[in-house]
Amino acid sequence: MSRLRGKAVIAQGGGPTAVINQSLAGAVLELRKFPEITQVWGARHGVRGIVDETFVDLSEVTTHNLERVAQTPSAALGSTRDKPDAEYCQRILGVFRKHDIRYFFYIGGNDSSDTVRIVGEHADREGYELRALHIPKTVDNDLPVNDHCPGYPSAARFVACGFAGIDADNAALPGVHIAVIMGRHAGWLTAAAALARRHDDDGPHLIYLPERQFSIDRYLSDIDRVYRRYGRCTVAVSEGVWATRDGKGEAIPLVADLMRRVGREPQVDAHGNIQLWGGALADELTDAVRKGLGIERVRADTFGCLQRSFPGVVSDVDAREAREVGEKAVHYACWHHLDGSVVIKRTGDYAVNYELADVKAIAAKTRYLPDEFIAADGNDVTDAFRSYLRPLLGDGMPCLERLRAPAARSRDDA
């Protein structure tokens, strides 16, 4: 098979992660080794930069610069929330033709993989030879076929560390502490709070995921039980418990009621998702405990976007894998002349293999937390989930130590 000669374009789409630039560096550094790649261009702000023809020349970036960018969170090329339809993809293809772009690498989540699929199909139909590859990334960990997604382990590390700190804080000043954690549809990030536990009585004592119907009454009776036992209670709640999973964008009664009370109509975005509202919801969950259980010291934190771009809180496993999926995408394209999505498969405990999947198996699908990872009562995760996540968090996880001091009694000589 003769080698396909032309330019390569790489772009980054969707929400940033702590390691998305590792994938960029992995792909760019590898692409620069292949003589048939005439230039390596980066599109600014994802597919938007393709149709706007705002490209930068990544052939002329120093290796040192790329290596330092690799260690920097957030998408160095810029990202986009644009979700191209057929017409948009047609414009992308027009730009590819114009500049003799023959290789397209898109680092992103579900929407980005779908873009790769549509652009690839258009090229096929028109007989324009193009390699189109999807490089996975998402802190949400919700891409099917993959064991896990680059970006998730570092965000999970942030959540586990952050929650360990919150729980230690709560042990020092006992009360109820609620952390609202990102994850509209799938509970992967919220579940990561479970890795904060070391001692039997460490929190999170309760974990609520969007995979299970949320009930405020159940939430209150759970907290009441834990609080009676330990004199304190820490809770991890996915922001997604407030949205239904049916995709109709209907708010559950609690949030609809809250929105009415503050005079706001639930906002629904272009994808039919309710505009989530972490801050006010954290306040609402706090208020419910104060009023419903009469507990005075109730606090809440919203992790917000912090975990997807916090510099320095990175899993080395994640950084390495993100680098490798970028590099592997180039291998599949340049050595094997294949299209698709690079996927991570787990083997043993713990190693990974990379494979190439049909992008149709990835695109626009959501992988929820499977039943075996959710405790029967729906308010915790299982040991199976903890075993799944632990190796992903990487080396050097902080270990919170307790004083091992016996109760004091005066010695005879004291």
Q: Which of residues 222-281 bind a second copy (CB under 8 A)?
A: 261-264, 277-281
Of the candidate residues 93, 166, 181, 192, the single one contacting a second copy (CB under 8 A):
166
Q: What DSSP assignment string belongs to 104-143?
A: EEEEESHHHHHHHHHHHHHHHHHT---EEEEEE--TT---
- Phi/psi of residue 215, nearest 5 degrees: -125, 125
Q: Which 98-157 residues touch a second copy, going by CB under 8 A?
A: 99-100
Distance CA 193, CA 393 (A): 12
Q: Which 313-342 residues touch a second copy, going by CB under 8 A?
A: 313
The answer to whether the beta carbons of residues 160 and 202 sit under 8 Å apart is no
Of the candidate residues 228, 336, 345, 402, the single one contacting a second copy (CB under 8 A):
402
Q: Which 70-89 residues touch a second copy, going by CB under 8 A?
A: 71-81
The torsion of the CA quartet 150, 70, 14, 111, rounded to 10 degrees, works out to: -50
Distance CA 114, CA 125 (A): 17
200 or 296: CB nearest a second copy: 296
282 or 369: CB nearest a second copy: 282
In the complex, what is the shortest distance from the CB of residue 121 to a second copy, in angstroms, rounded to a whole number? 26
24 or 363: CB nearest a second copy: 24
166 or 352: CB nearest a second copy: 166
Binding segment toward a second copy, per CB under 8 A, in 111-119, 131-139, 163-171, 372-380: 163-171
61 or 133: CB nearest a second copy: 61
Q: Which tokens in the block code for residue 265? A: 């109509």
Q: Residue 199, interface with a second copy (CB under 8 A)?
A: no
In the complex, what is the shortest distance from the CB of residue 361 to a second copy, in angstroms, rounded to a whole number? 27
Distance CA 105, CA 333 (A): 9
For residue 100, give the 3-state DSSP assignment. coil
Binding segment toward a second copy, per CB under 8 A, in 67-75, 87-95, 108-116, 236-244: 67-75
Choose the catalytic residue: 82, 111, 114, 140: 140
75 or 89: CB nearest a second copy: 75
In the complex, what is the shortest distance from the CB of residue 260 to a second copy, in angstroms, rounded to a whole number? 10
CA 351, 354, 358: angle at the middle one, nearest 5? 145
140 is catalytic: yes
Of the candidate residues 94, 247, 272, 311, the single one contacting a second copy (CB under 8 A):
311
- Residue 172 C-beta-side C-alpha neighbours within 13 Å: 8
The answer to whether the beta carbons of residues 209 and 152 sit under 8 Å apart is no
The residue type of 1 is M
Of the candidate residues 4, 306, 361, 375, the single one contacting a second copy (CB under 8 A):
306
- Which residues lie below 8 Å from residue 279, measured CB to CB, with a gap of 6+? 302
The residue type of 213 is Q
CA proximity to 220, closest of 398, 379, 51 = 379
In the complex, what is the shortest distance from the CB of residue 303 to a second copy, in angstroms, rounded to a whole number? 8
The residue type of 14 is G
- Residues binding a second copy: number (CB under 8 A): 87
Q: Residue 283, interface with a second copy (CB under 8 A)?
A: yes
Tell me the catalytic residues: 140
